[in-house]
Amino acid sequence: MKDLFQKCFQFTAAQEAIAQGYYPYFIPLDETEGTVARYKGHELIMCGSNNYLGLTTHPKVREAAIEAIRRYGTSCTGSRFLNGTLALHEQLEAELAEFVGKEAALVFSTGYQVNLGTISCLVGRNDVVILDRDDHASIVDGCRLSFGKIKRFRHNDMADLERVLRSVPSDVGKLVVVDGVFSMGGDIAPLPDIVELCQKYGARLMVDDAHSIGVLGGGRGTAAHFGVTDQVDLIMCTFSKSFASLGGFIAGDAPVIDYIKHHARSLIFSASMPPANIAASLAALEVMRSEPERIERLLHNARKMKEGLTSLGFNTGKSETPIIPVIIGDDMLTFTMWRRLFEEGVFVNPVISPAVPPNHQLLRTSYMATHTDEQLDRVLEIFEKVGRELGIIP
């Protein structure tokens, strides 16, 4: 008789890595102040966060969250469908729609739930959803929850996307879903080319801008970056990156958003965003509008680190954003470099297969507007020291 839990008892990889000192996940930080984190008294420069604009410590964002708790309490204790909608939710939706240039928006309790709910309710049994092979796991899971057929194309390969689109009958509903900025490589989807192919083959287009809003297009995302906002059907984003909060939204034409609002199971059957998270997101949005210099500083820091790491001899791939991978190409060497950087005072994230293709193991580094030049220079010094020590750079 087979025991369902047998695979759990046989899973020892994590414990073995902990015993050997190479386990890089679930590290319980004592505190984090944006660009600096502390672990057991050990201070680290944080280069592994998605806090791109550094707003988690912004006074306006903090105070907005605190005031929301004073006024509304800690939770809405219900679904948006029932008792869980506040006027504050609708204010955030209206302001987000205006910000990204769409008619309407809808907020969910997490970004993951946005992709689960949106894709699964739009893609029906006789429809086809088409993904970039490097799309985020939440996009893949949203497709799996739908009743449609899933097709994929090679990463940012427009000839392969056209091949896939051409293979789908014209009388079948089609949705193409791509990341605006890809979360591991930091490269940007070629939206103008994707838009052209979608229009040629009658497909709708959804862009996951989790790592783009607050970064590209004056903060308004990838479609704004390329000037194709009116040709992208749906824009999605999370609040856990530039918005310094938790939650997410989908924006598009009002009838489409209304349909999602009444059919997305991850919205209907989940408790709504808590007041503190709504208020923090609203405050972060206001800072994006009123302090554009933060975005300029973020892009300055991204250029500095891309140029610095590349000049040292590291392989940083095709990144054009504050996400800069340092490609190592070997599991153990990736973990060893992660540990040495950690010991020297730099926090980064090691990523191995299946999150990235085989032989493409990497250290995912990401940068904030609030990093100082002194901090970044120190990070480059440590990368050079460890990279030479391990023979990764000359």
Domains and CATH numbers, the chain: 10-46+292-389 (3.90.1150.10), 57-290 (3.40.640.10)
**192-219: burial string, b at 16+ Cβ within 10 Å, e else:** eebbebbeebebbbbbbbbbbbbbbbeb
Cβ neighbour number for residue 79 with a 10 Å cutoff: 16
The pLDDT of residue 313 = 96
Give CA–CA dist 147/161, Å, rounded: 21
Mean pLDDT in residue range 178-190: 97
- Give the residue-averaged pLDDT of 327-356: 94
Is 183 an active-site residue?
yes
pLDDT at position 358 is: 84
Q: What is the pLDDT of residue 353?
A: 84
Task: Find the mean pLDDT for residues 344-365.
Answer: 92
Residues 251-262 have a mean pLDDT of 98
The token pair that represents 76 in the structure block: 């809405």
Residue 100: other Cβ atoms inside 10 A:
24
In angstroms, the CA 256 to CA 236 distance is 13
* Given the residues 174, 241, 306, 371, the one annotated as active site: 241
Asked whether the beta carbons of 39 and 27 are under 8 A apart, the reply is yes
Q: What is the mean pLDDT of the chain?
A: 96
pLDDT of residue 354: 84
Cα–Cα distance between 224 and 97 in angstroms, integer?
A: 13
Q: Are 339 and 22 in contact (CB under 8 A)?
A: yes
Average pLDDT, stretch 221-228?
Answer: 98
Residue 109 binned pLDDT confidence (cut-offs 50, 70, 90): very high
Do 236 and 207 contact (CB within 8 A), yes or no? yes
Write down the residue that tokens 């429809």 correspond to: 127
Reported residue count of the chain is 394
Is 225 considered catalytic here? no
- Say which range, 97-111, 268-282, 307-321, 342-356, has the weakest mean pLDDT: 342-356
pTM over 0.85: yes
| SS3 track for 219-275 | HECHHHHHCCHHHCCEEEEECCCCCCCCCEEEEECHHHHHHHHHHCHHHHCCECCCH
Euclidean distance between CA atoms 319 and 188, whole angstroms: 8
Asked whether the predicted pLDDT for residue 33 surpasses 80, the reply is no
Position 292 pLDDT exceeds 90: yes
Cα distance between residue 309 and residue 95, in whole Å: 38
Instruction: Measure the CA–CA gap between 138 and 142, rounded to whole angstroms.
Output: 6
pLDDT cut 90: percent of the chain above it: 95
Point out the catalytic residue in the list 211, 261, 306, 360. 211
Average pLDDT value for residue range 83-105: 97
Is residue 241 flagged as an active site residue? yes
Residue 68: pLDDT over 90 = yes
Distance in angstroms (rounded) separating the CA atoms of residues 96 and 104: 8
pLDDT score for 235:
98
pLDDT score of 7: 94
Closest alpha carbon to 316 in 244, 283, 364: 364
Catalytic residue of the set 49, 109, 146, 183: 183
- Three-state SS across 92-114? HHHHHHHHHCCCEEEEECCHHHH
Average pLDDT over residues 62-86: 96
Nearest to 210 by CA among 105, 261, 139: 139
- Mean pLDDT value of segment 299-323: 97
